Structure 1
Amino acid sequence: MISEPLRQTAQASDQLCETARGVIRKEAEALIAMSGRIDHLFAHACHIILNCKGHVVVMGVGKSGHIARKVAATFASTGTPAFFVHPGEAKHGDAGMITPSDVVLAISYSGETEEIVSILPVIRRLKIPLISMTGKCASSLARHADVNINVGIETEACPLGLAPTSSTTVALATGDAMALALLNERGFTMEDFALSHPGGTLGRRLLLTVDEIMHKGENIPRVGKEALLKTVLLEMTRKKLGMTTIVDNDGILAGVFTDGDVRRVLDTGVDIHKILIHEVMNRNPKIIPPGTLAAGALDRMKQHKITSLVVVNEQREPVGVIHMHDILRAGIA
């Protein structure tokens, strides 16, 4: 039997969930309605930005300011140079950041935000394009804009109809839509995205090469073809990579020998003081050229179920060894 406190808790939880579902439904409905309003005006705004020689200066105050900051960041990371300027600060000197080569994108649901309206003369004096996102097409901002994107909604998702919810969601989604439409039009690639996100996982996967993290020079485990197995084991122990390269008299890679090979060979009962490494080495090691992406090297290791690769130049000389742990430590997974 369910106790009364538990029943009340369950009812309260149901009410919380139903309210949340209602908010999400209302915001989703507002987004669907907005998608139906994407038209030639939206395309015109995109063409203005594509023809911009400078930056997109994004403005907004309050909740619209938070949206404007995010829109500017999305633009900048997807191939459209952009930055955020607070209209209030622009009135006190930051308007100097705006140049005649720029485009201004102003976000204000009412279209009457005092801080934005007060700097419209500055924008006009610079003779630069003004794109607005408002929910009121007859507002001061919309009337002064070269293009106004209507981001109006029927009602906020807030049960009180007060807190900006659906309106900010629609403005954010419209900003994202514009940024990604521009991305597509510019032919912006994953590699371009990585260049603006060098510290992120994607950036590392698309930019980091084995050359930057491989073991080089004296840190490469290396023995000659005529070395005794005992010498090879000592070299492997010193370099701590679980393997060694084996080179001929000209320094050309002849093979490799790994921890797995050690176990295999010792099981045959050979004398490590007498057998030469060329008799038991792997003559067909997996190799990669310099400049290989670390992510590609990791994929190859996984494919062949090995933990290291030898990096060789065009003459097939070992110039490095890359171990799986090196790649994982670099944040490639």
Structure 2
Amino acid sequence: MTSSTTDFLATARRVIAAETEALTMLGESLGQSFADAVDTILRARGRVIVSGMGKSGHIGRKITATLASTGTPAQFVHPAEASHGDLGMVTREDVALVLSNSGETPELADIIAHTRRFDIPLIGVASRAQSTLLRQADVALVLPAAPEACGNGIVPTSSTTMTLALGDALAIALMEHRQFTPDQFRVFHPGGKLGARLAKVSDLMHRTLPLVPSGTPMGEALITMSQKGFGVLGVTGPDGRLEGVITDGDLRRHLDGLLSHSVDEVMTRNPRTIAPDALAEKAVAVMNAKKITSLFVVDPEGTGAALGLIHIHDCLRAGVA
């Protein structure tokens, strides 16, 4: 390891240690004002309007996205643009969450004044309790006096990390209070890996099914099995309940005199199935554990009727597996 590499690693560890300490200080400093901020947002009938300048603005955009994706409608309003007409986006139904490390950022003056003029609840986040922002705020969230990780106190590092973590804490507290479910989360995350992980079996299953009734001769069953192309066949009873499945493995095991049998003699009874509202990830786990490539989806209300079929390839295409 070269001396420069050693220096770089030492710097990285020092920065991370400083920010870790800042987060510990933040956690210990939280009190009634944090609960008041959550209550203020819960009472609002509109959105959380997040605003901040510079690095605080960048953090504010991320907080906005986290709030919006976890059940709290939110919108970022740039303070400079707010002074040129975007204040019209901030209504009496909203609550403002304004971020500034110093609490004296001049570009925030107009949005602060707007909240005071129209009696819009204002939650301020800053490091100085006596700053203009926190003195004007209905709820003041004071960041602890943690040193910036840059070592000279001029680069926003520890302060932005604390602000980001505080925004995450607000979002999760609101989410848990609202009992925000994974299903609701997926509504706002239909794409990407998150959307795939939260996909339900019903989102991916086929509804045109390879089914034959009990007692069907294997000659007819093979035609149906070949036409559907899933490599599996379901066998239903008189009441429509899925009684068994026939796979390629079942065919090989009964190859001798196969066409002289009925489906009841060849099928595997009491097959493994899954409910339509189960996560597709669960279906993949079952298929992997049982070393199978497809699962019939059955009625969860107890009728046992086959509603669909999910194949491992469907999960792969959707990015689940």
Q: Do both share a fold (TM > 0.5)? A: yes
Q: Check 1:188–1:221 CA distance in 2 against 1; reply closer, same or farther (3 A cut).
A: closer
Q: Identify which of 192, 213, 219 aligns with 2:204.
A: 213
Q: CA deviation at 1:253?
A: 4.3
Distance 2:124 2:196 in 1: 36
* Residue in structure 2 matched with residue 260 of structure 1 by the alignment: 249
Count of residue pairs brought into register by the alignment: 319
Task: Look up the SS of the partner of 1:58 in the other structure.
Answer: strand
2:122 aligned with 1:130:
yes
Distance 2:44 2:122 in 1: 12
Distance 1:38 1:56 in 2: 21
Q: Check 1:136–1:273 CA distance in 2 against 1; reply closer, same or farther (3 A cut).
A: closer
* Residue in structure 1 matched with residue 189 of structure 2 by the alignment: 197
Q: Identify which of 153, 173, 186 aligns with 2:178.
A: 186
* Residue in structure 2 matched with residue 233 of structure 1 by the alignment: 222
Q: TM-score, normalised by structure 2?
A: 0.87
Confirm or deny: 8 A CA contact 2:52 2:98 kept in the other structure: yes
Distance 1:303 1:114 in 2: 61
Q: CA deviation at 1:73?
A: 1.5
Q: Check 1:24–1:254 CA distance in 2 against 1; reply closer, same or farther (3 A cut).
A: closer
* Residue in structure 2 matched with residue 95 of structure 1 by the alignment: 87
Confirm or deny: 8 A CA contact 1:228 1:273 kept in the other structure: yes
What does the per-residue CA deviation read over 1:236-280, in whole Å, with 9 as the maximum and x for residues that have no partner? Answer: 3332211112346786645321100111112xxx23443433332
Gaps of 5+ in 2: none
2:147 aligned with 1:141:
no
Confirm or deny: 8 A CA contact 1:109 1:152 kept in the other structure: no
Q: Check 1:32–1:293 CA distance in 2 against 1; reply closer, same or farther (3 A cut).
A: closer
Bigger mean CA deviation after superposition, 33-42 or 275-284: 275-284
Superposition RMSD on alpha carbons, in Å? 2.6
Bigger mean CA deviation after superposition, 257-266 or 137-146: 137-146
Confirm or deny: 8 A CA contact 1:129 1:146 kept in the other structure: yes
Task: Look up the SS of the partner of 1:36 in the other structure.
Answer: helix
Distance 1:321 1:186 in 2: 34
Gaps of 5+ in 1: 1-8
* Residue in structure 2 matched with residue 3 of structure 1 by the alignment: none
* Residue in structure 2 matched with residue 327 of structure 1 by the alignment: 315
* Residue in structure 2 matched with residue 4 of structure 1 by the alignment: none
2:3 aligned with 1:37:
no
Q: TM-score, normalised by structure 1?
A: 0.84
* Residue in structure 2 matched with residue 63 of structure 1 by the alignment: 55
* Residue in structure 2 matched with residue 307 of structure 1 by the alignment: 293
Distance 1:288 1:185 in 2: 31
* Residue in structure 1 matched with residue 266 of structure 2 by the alignment: 280
Bigger mean CA deviation after superposition, 113-122 or 301-310: 301-310
Task: Look up the SS of the partner of 2:254 in the other structure.
Answer: helix
Distance 1:105 1:250 in 2: 59
What does the per-residue CA deviation read over 1:79-130, in whole Å, with 9 as the maximum and x for residues that have no partner? Answer: 3221110011111111111010111111111212121013322221111111
Give the structure with higher Rg (CA). 1
* Residue in structure 1 matched with residue 163 of structure 2 by the alignment: 171
Confirm or deny: 8 A CA contact 1:236 1:244 kept in the other structure: yes
Confirm or deny: 8 A CA contact 1:134 1:152 kept in the other structure: no
Q: Check 1:233–1:64 CA distance in 2 against 1; reply closer, same or farther (3 A cut).
A: same
Equivalent AA in structure 2 for residue 274 of structure 1: S
Distance 1:252 1:152 in 2: 63
